[in-house]
Amino acid sequence: MLFTTDAVVAGIHVDSSLMSASDMGWKALTTAVSDIGAMGGTPAHAVVTLCAPPGTDVDGLAEGIGEAAARWRCPVVGGDLTGASQLVISVSITGTIEGEAPAVLRTGARPGDSILVTGPLGRSAAGLRLLAGGPGPRSGDDRTRADLVLAYRRPQARLDEGRAARAGGATAMMDVSDGLGLDLHRLAEASGVGIVLDTVPAAVGATEAEALGGGEDYELLIAVGDVDALAARFASRGLRPPIRIGACTADPSELRWGPDPLPRSGYQHQL
């Protein structure tokens, strides 16, 4: 059995002036579901703790939580509602995993493994920039704009991709939640390997900085020995091909982006 928890805090993870209560509810449940997906599992049940200041649109939050629970087939079976000065939505999820093999953690990457992501990055950060009144997408396309905004407001959990990666031999996996630069450092540290990043795949309308440090895309970061076997597994399930972005090395102190040091770009929680 898998068991994971995640919190969304207003003003940190979400800006209530840029998204509706129902979007916040969606995001809270989906980011927790994403943690199960990043282990190669399938979500089973959720419990939700809502710490809400006076005047919070609890109905709207519940609506978005319910929509995400239906989308990811992860019913909410319990919860707790309490007052607070700041909105916090904490979601815990149980999950199951197919067959006998263990869940994929971030600790198993080996020197020589390739590093892949399940899609181009920076969409959520670009969507936030557009919502905050920043410069528009380079493509100037309304559909691109809508896609980026949706990526920020209604992120998706890569459950099919996570299961395919586990079945296809992934040695380590995590979701890109805080930013590719930072999350690559975490994967390398957890696995005791170095990483050389060759390319940063930015989504249409997103800048390279957004792709490297934006986070909140919830694409999966995958380490795997046999890239072709993994790609074949994705193809046989009708999934978008994963994108190879780099490789693991034997020296844990080696964290490079091409010839340069790999920055820890991403959201660092301050305590």
Residues in contact with a second copy by the rule CB under 8 A: 1, 3-7, 9, 11-13, 45, 47-49, 51-52, 54-56, 58, 77-86, 88, 90, 92, 94, 269-271
Residue 54 or 133 having the CB closest to a second copy: 54
Q: CA dist 138 to 9, 130, 172, 193, 206, Å? A: 31, 11, 34, 36, 8
Residue 32 or 222 having the CB closest to a second copy: 32
Considering the complex, what minimum distance in angstroms separates the CB of residue 65 from a second copy? 13
Considering the complex, what minimum distance in angstroms separates the CB of residue 73 from a second copy? 16
Residue 113 or 216 having the CB closest to a second copy: 216
Residue 57 or 147 having the CB closest to a second copy: 57
Residues of 221-258 as b/e, b for ≥16 C-beta within 10 angstroms? bbbbeebeebbebbeeeebeebbbbbbbbeeeeebebe
CA distance linking residue 46 with residue 175, whole number of Å: 19
Considering the complex, what minimum distance in angstroms separates the CB of residue 22 from a second copy? 17
Considering the complex, what minimum distance in angstroms separates the CB of residue 220 from a second copy? 18
Contacts of 182 (CB under 8 A, 6+ apart): 213, 215, 264, 265, 266, 267, 268
Short-list 113, 104, 114, 45, CA closest to 74: 45
Residue 7 or 232 having the CB closest to a second copy: 7
Considering the complex, what minimum distance in angstroms separates the CB of residue 29 from a second copy? 13
Residue 147 or 267 having the CB closest to a second copy: 267
Q: CA dist 17 to 21, 60, 68, 243, Å? A: 10, 14, 21, 34
Instruction: Copy the structure tokens of residue 222.
Output: 């995958």
DSSP 121: B
Considering the complex, what minimum distance in angstroms separates the CB of residue 11 from a second copy? 7
Residue 90 or 207 having the CB closest to a second copy: 90
Considering the complex, what minimum distance in angstroms separates the CB of residue 20 from a second copy? 18
Short-list 98, 122, 88, CA closest to 206: 122
Task: Report the amino acid identity of residue 147.
Answer: D
Distance from first CA to last CA of the chain, Å, rounded?
31
What residue has token string 């957890």?
190
Give yes or no for a contact between 42 and 158, defined as CB atoms under 8 angstroms apart. Answer: no
